[in-house]
Amino acid sequence: MFTPSDLYKDAIIHLESNHWTDGQSSGPIKLTTVGQLAYEKKNDTWSVSYDESEATGMDGTRTRVSLFPNGRVVLSRTGSVEMELEFVKGDQRVEAKSTPYGPVRFSVLTHEAKGEINEEGGEIELGYSLGFENRHTVSTRLQLEVTAQEEENSSDRDRRSERNGYAN
């Protein structure tokens, strides 16, 4: 039986993202990559982290998707793309972000934010719409399926967790 404590494992991540603009799909982006699965006891939070690639148009970016016990999902990106968005089903919020081209204001309407993860893996699903200048611009559906890999020794895990921004 699994007892909650901090946990860090390598993982295989299957990602599928679909985008629609004006009712037209740009077709799914499917990606399988290696990343990390983590559980942080202090926040009772599961996180999945992976490096983006040229396939997603965000090469040089590290993405972290965190699942909180209340169903809230936070998507954080660092590197060539810096951002953090929070998703709560049914929530609509206006965000303001700084970009190299100046500040940008947009709205985020969350249609779906759910997931189920344990020490073996699991899945996270997001559905949301972004609007700019008070009009709908793009809808996105993101699905992550995570499969944890075999346990590693503690010194390898500690080095990896430090490298990925997790504190022990």
The model's pLDDT over 69-96, given as tens digits with 9 standing for 90+, comes to 998 999 999 998 888 999 999 999 988 8
pLDDT score for 137 = 85
Return the pLDDT at 168: 44
Tokens of 114: 């759910």
Domain ranges of the chain: 7-163
Architecture of domain 7-163: Beta Barrel (2.40)
- Report yes or no on whether pTM surpasses 0.85: no
CA nearest neighbour of 158 among 2, 36, 43: 36
pLDDT at 4 over 60: no
